[in-house]
A and B are shown apart, each in its own frame.
Chain A
Amino acid sequence: MADVYMNGKFVGTCLEPENFVEKVRVNRRKAKYADELNVTYHPDEDNVILSTEKGRARRPLIIVHNGKSLLTDDHLMRLESGEIKFNDLVAKGVVEYLDAEEEENSYIAITPEVVKPGHTHLELSPLVILGSQAAMVPYPEHNVAPRVMIGAKTIKQGIGLYVSNYLMRSDTDVSILHYPQNPIVTTKMYDVMNFSTHPVGQNIVIAIMAWDGYNMDDAVILNSSSIERGLFRSTYYRPYSIEELKYPGGQVDSIEIPDKEVRGYRTEDVYRLLEKDGIIYPEANVSSGDVLIGKSSPPRFLSSLEEFRFGVEARRETSQVIRHRESGVVESVVITESDDGNKYVKVKVRDSRVPEIGDKFASRHGQKGVIGLTVPQEDMPFTADGIVPDLIFSPHSIPSRMTVGQLLEILGGKVGALMGNTIDGTPFQGDREMDLRALLKGLGFRDNGTETMYNGKTGQMYRVRIMVGNIYYLKLRHMVANKLHARSRGPVQLLTRQPTEGRSKEGGLRLGEMENHCFVAHGAALTLKERFDSDRAIIPICKKCGLVAIYNRFRRKGVCSVCGDDIPITFIEMSYAFKLLLDELKSLCMYPKLIVGPK
C-alpha cells in the first residue's frame, strides 16, 4: 500500500499506485484536472507524490502513446496557419508539462525517428535539452561539454547592442559595439531569442596558424588594418550623478561652480568646462581630474574649531569629478528630480575603445584569449586569392580542448560567406559536415577549409596548408583600458599609513605573505625591509617607560605622557602598523613596554 502525498502533506494511501498514477495522468490529459498537476510514483519508497505548488521548473513534452507521437502533421499544419495555438495542444492532451520529479519516471525520446513502444514522451526538439545560452553555441555536440559551458558563459560577456535605447539609459560599465552583425553560422535559438535585435559580435576571417610566437598561450593576433576599418570598435559609457541634498537644520547642497574660498577647492583649471549652472555641457572633452558637476556642501560638523569660519568659507567642495585616469566626451546631461524631490543631475561620459593589445576576444566555443599583437595588413599572411585574415588563432588551442565545433563553424562560415546565406549549426540537427565539404568543393576550395598561404613579410609560400575561414567572434567586455594600473607612489590610508588598495584609489599592489616568504628564503633581508618600508615611521620612545613619547622640536626636549616633561627619549624606526599594534594593546589594558638597548 503506497502513501499518497499532496504538496508534501500526507493525504492517504492507495492500493494500486501504478494504476492510480496512470489514472491521474489520463484525467489530466483530458483536462479534467489542472495541467499544473504533476504526479510521480516512487516504487522504492512506495509513495505517490502529487504536486501543484509554485516554484517547480516544468517543461513541455509531446506525449507518446503506444510508440506513436500524439502530435500529428495535421496539428502542425493548423499551428502554422494559426488555427490553433500551442496552449490548445496542452488542452487537447498532445503536449504536457512535466516537473523534475515526474520526469524521473518518464522515458523521453529525443527525435521522432527513435520513438519506440516503451517511450512515454518525445522532446519538442533536441535543442531544448540545452538551455537558452548553451544553445547559442553552434555545433555544440562536436565540442567537449565544459567548453560548451564556457562558450555559453563568454557569449554573455560579448559586447554588442545590448538594448537599442541605450542612449536614453544610464547603465554603469556598458559598451556598445559599433558594427554588430548576425552570425553566419546560427542555431535555431538565435531566431527564438530575436538575436538580430541585439547581436554581440562580428563575422571575421580567421586563420589557424602560429605567427612569430605572438599568439602563443591563447593570445590572438589582430589585423590592425581591420581595426582601422572599424573592426570591433566600441564605445564605453559611464554615468555620473549627483544629488542636491537637504540637511537637517535648513542647510542645503548647492550645485554650482564652487567659490574659491570653499574648503577643498581644486585648481581653477578643472572647473573650466562647467557652465553657469555648475554643470558641464554636452560634447565637452573631459580628461582625468576634470569636474563634471560642481557642488558645495555645508560643513560636516559645527565644531568649535571652525567657529571662526563663516559663509562660503565654511562650506566643503563636493564636486563630481571624472574617475581617476579616465577620459572621454560628455554624451548627455540630464537634470531632473530625485525621489526625495531634490535636484538630481546625471552626466553620461562616453569614450571610444579601439581594440588594442590586451583586449579580450572569444569565439563561441569557449576559446577566449587576448590580443598579443596587432599587425598591419601588409605583414599578415595572405591566400592565393589575396584574402588576409582579420585574426590569427593558435593551432595549439585546439587539440587539448577538443573544440571541434569551432572548426566546423569555420567551415560553415566559409561556405556561408561565399554563398551569401546562413548556415544552420543548431545542436544535433545542424547542417552536416559532409554537405558543407561538398559545397565548399563545389565553390572551388579545398573541402577541408585549408588553403595555401604566403608569408606577408617575405612573400614566401608556407609549406603547410592553413585553415582559413569565417567565424563569428566576440569582443568581450574586459578591456585593458579599464584595468591597466601601476603605481610607484601615491595615496596612503589614514589609519595605517599603508598604500590604498584598488585601481580606483590609485592603490599599490600588495606584497603578500607568500611573497614575503620568498624574500626570506633568498636571505634578502634588506631588500625585504625596503619593500615593507611603505609605512615606515620614526617614533620617539620614552627611555624610562618604553612607551611612545612626544618630541618637542621647539624646546628640543622629550615629553612623555606618563613620565612627564623633560624626559630622555630615543628615536626608533618601525612600521607605523606596529605602532598601531602597540596602541591597540594599550587599549586592551596591556603595557607594551619597549626595552630600548644601546644604539
Chain B
Amino acid sequence: MTLPPSIKKAVERESEGLNKSKSKKLLEETERRFREMSVVPAEAVGVISAQSIGEPGTQMTMRTKHFAGVTEMNVTLGLPRLIEIFDARREPSTPTMTIRLQDDVASDENKVREIAAKILEVSFESIMKEIVIDLLNFKIEVTLDNSSMESFNIDIKDVEKAMNKVFKKHKIVILKSGLIRLSPKDTKTILNLYKMKMKLKSMHIRGVPGIVQVLPIKRRGSWIIMTAGTNLRRVLKVPGVDPTRTFSNNIHEMFRVLGVEAARNSIVNEALGTLKQQGLEVDIRHIMLVADTMTLNGDIRGITRYGISGDKASVLARASFEVPLKHLFNAAVHNEVDNLSSVIENVMINQPIPIGTGLLKLVVKRDKK
C-alpha cells in the first residue's frame, strides 16, 4: 500500500537532516501505522457510518430554532436540518450565506457595513409608505417613506432610475416630497392597473436579489456577513467579497455555482456543523462516506426513495425500503433478475451476508489432470 502524497511529503519534510537508515525507518513506520489505520476489507463501513450518525441523532433535542447570531436570525438546526441535508432538499428551510471578505476589508467595520448594505436587496415595497390606485384618473399614487429611504441610504434619484428601467414608456411624475404618480402607457383596464401595482411593489431597486437580511458579525477579530436568503452567484461578484471562502447553506446552489466537489464538501461541513452545534461529536469520515455516496455520480442524490435508496440494484432491497409493491410490480414487468449480491436480500432468504466473515469463500485447488 502506498502512502497518500500529502503524508509522503510530510514524511520527507520530517526526514530532512536525518541519516538514510533513520529516514527509511521513519517511512516504514509511517507506512505500518497507515496500514493499521485503514479499513479492513469486508468491513461494513456503511452500517457503521449509519449507526455512528444515527445514535447521536437520537440524542438531538427537539428544539429546532436557535439564535445563531447576536441579532434575531432564526436558523433551522438540529434534527430537521440534518434530515434536510441528507434528503438533499432543493431549498433549505432557512437559506443563509456566510460571506467572508477580503483581508483589507474584513477588519474595517465601516467598509463591511457598506458592503452589507450593498448586498441587501431593497425592493420598492420596503421604502414606500402607501400605494393607492386612483380609478378616476387611472393612476397609481405612491407615497414614499422618507425615513426608511434614509436608513437604506436611498436617494429619490435611485428610485427614478429604477422606475425608468422597469416602466419604460409609462408616464411617471416624481415630486420632491416623495409622491409618485404613475399612469399606464396604453390599455386603460383596471386589471392592467392592478398588475402595474404588483409590479411596482416588487420592483428591485438595489442590492443582490434574494438577500432578505444581512448581519455583519465579528468573528475572531475579522468581520463576516451572515445573510438570510441566498444568491451565491451574484454575491461572489461583489467587490470586497472573498469568493474563495464565501458559501451558501443551500447544497444545490453550491453545486450549481461551484460544482460537485464543492457540494460534497458542503454536505460534510453542514452536517458536521449541525451535529457540532448540538454538542455531538461524529467522526468526519462517517459523514464523508455519506457525502461521497450522495455525490458519486456527479449529481446530488438524497438518501430517499427517489435518491440513492431507490437506485439499489436489488429488487428485494428496494422493496424492503418503502413502497414495496411498486418495486415488485415493476420488477415483474421488466423481468428483473436479483443477483442476491447485497446484505438485505441475504438476510431475507437467510443466507450468509457478503460482509465480514460472510464475504470469504473457501477455494479448493483441484489437482491438474
Contact = CB atoms under 8 A, between A and B. Distances in A.
Interface of A: 516-518, 520-526, 528-529, 532-533, 535-536, 573-575, 577-578, 581, 585, 588, 590-591, 595
A192 B83 CA distance: 53
Nearest to B315: A592
Interface residues of B, number: 25
A157 B132 CA distance: 69
Given A523-B42, A588-B328, A529 B352 contact: yes
Contacts of B42: 523
B174 interface: no
B73 interface: no
B44 A536 contact: no
A590 B352 contact: no
B350 A533 contact: yes
Contacts of B329: 588, 590
A585 B349 contact: no
| Most chain B Cβ neighbours within 10 Å, of A516, A521, A522, A532 | A521
Contact of A590 (B51, B332, B348): B332
Interface in B15-51: 42-44, 47-48, 50-51
A521 B355 CA distance: 9
A523 B328 contact: no
Contacts of B190: none
A520 B353 contact: yes
A526 B351 CA distance: 9
A-B pairs, 3 with minimum CB distance = A523-B356, A525-B358, A575-B350
B323 to A, nearest CB: 15
Interface majority SS (helix, strand, loop, mixed), chain A:
helix
Nearest to B358: A525
B328 A595 contact: no
A523 B44 contact: yes
Given A526-B358, A585-B328, A588-B328, A520 B350 contact: no
B136 interface: no
Contacts of A526: 352, 357-358
Contacts of A581: 348
Contact of B43 (A523, A574, A588): A523
Contacts of A532: 347, 350
B343 interface: yes
A546 to B, nearest CB: 11
Contact of A517 (B51, B328, B356, B357): B51
B359 interface: yes
A577 to B, nearest CB: 8
Given A522-B356, A524-B356, A585-B328, A529 B351 contact: yes
Contacts of B352: 525-526, 528-529
24 contacts: A517-B47, A520-B356, A521-B44, A521-B47, A522-B44, A523-B357, A523-B358, A524-B356, A525-B356, A525-B357, A525-B359, A526-B357, A528-B347, A528-B353, A529-B350, A529-B352, A532-B347, A536-B350, A573-B351, A575-B349, A575-B350, A578-B348, A578-B349, A590-B328
B363 interface: no
Nearest to A521: B47
Contacts of A524: 356-357
Given A520-B44, A532-B350, A578-B350, A591 B356 contact: no
B229 to A, nearest CB: 35
Contacts of A518: 51
Contacts of B358: 523, 525-526, 529
A320 to B, nearest CB: 39
B337 interface: yes
Contact of A521 (B51, B328, B349): B51
B44 A574 contact: no
B348 A520 contact: no
Nearest to A581: B348
A363 B308 CA distance: 53
A590 B331 CA distance: 9
A63 B344 CA distance: 71
A533 B47 CA distance: 22
A525 B355 contact: yes
A575 B349 CA distance: 5
Given A523-B44, A588-B328, A595-B337, A574 B356 contact: no
B350 A574 contact: yes
Contacts of B357: 523-526
Contacts of A521: 44, 47-48, 51
Given A524-B356, A575-B348, A588-B328, 15 more contacts: A520-B44, A520-B47, A520-B343, A520-B355, A521-B44, A523-B358, A525-B352, A525-B355, A528-B347, A529-B358, A532-B347, A574-B349, A578-B348, A585-B332, A591-B332
B285 to A, nearest CB: 15
B173 to A, nearest CB: 44
A532 B348 CA distance: 9
A402 B123 CA distance: 55
Contacts of A577: 348
A331 B119 CA distance: 85
Contacts of A516: 347
| Most chain B Cβ neighbours within 10 Å, of A518, A520, A532, A573 | A520
A599 to B, nearest CB: 13
| Most chain B Cβ neighbours within 10 Å, of A517, A536, A590 | A517
B335 to A, nearest CB: 9
B320 to A, nearest CB: 10
A582 B159 CA distance: 72
A448 B354 CA distance: 66
A292 B58 CA distance: 49
